[in-house]
Amino acid sequence: VKGEEFTELYLESGSSLQRKMMYAYGTLVGAMHRKRINSKVRPRDIICRNRRFGNHEESLVLIDRERGKTRYMDMGDRVAIKQMLNDWHKNAGFLNYPGLVQLSAFWLGYCKERPEFREFTEQRKDLFLEIFGGFTAQPDRDQFDRHYAGWMRG
């Protein structure tokens, strides 16, 4: 596959491109979960075919490094959260621990592919913090509300 490695491009890019990349990364993970695919989506396994990150299908290619059959399962709230938490715990360092703005972009992309996650509620806010709270400076509620709600409004 021709292109640039996601992690390398991310680390050398400015905040604006990082947000776009994280949005596309979120849509990729969300699409997999929507299709009931339970698989690791590591940043180091993603190739950027181009720098138009509005849609993961146009810009990203996931290199499958897992062995065995693809596992399909219900990816409801708890299972999806557990999978993302596990993935971020292992992989956030490869992206130099993204900040709140980049993580909000990932979440927005994820929610685009998982409509049941779109509603801005305290529960969804808590899910976001459960997944990402330990991987960035702990945001206060006001800061979180500004970034997350702003992204959700578009």
pLDDT in tens, 55-108: 788 899 998 766 667 777 776 667 777 777 777 777 888 888 888 788 888 888
pLDDT of residue 93: 83
Run of H or E residues at 1: none
CA-to-CA separations, 110 to 30, 31, 116, 140, in angstroms, rounded: 4, 8, 11, 22
- What sign has the CA pseudo-torsion 71, 1, 91, 109? negative
Q: Record the pTM.
A: 0.80
More confident residue, 7 or 40: 7
DSSP per residue, 95-106: GT---HHHHHHH
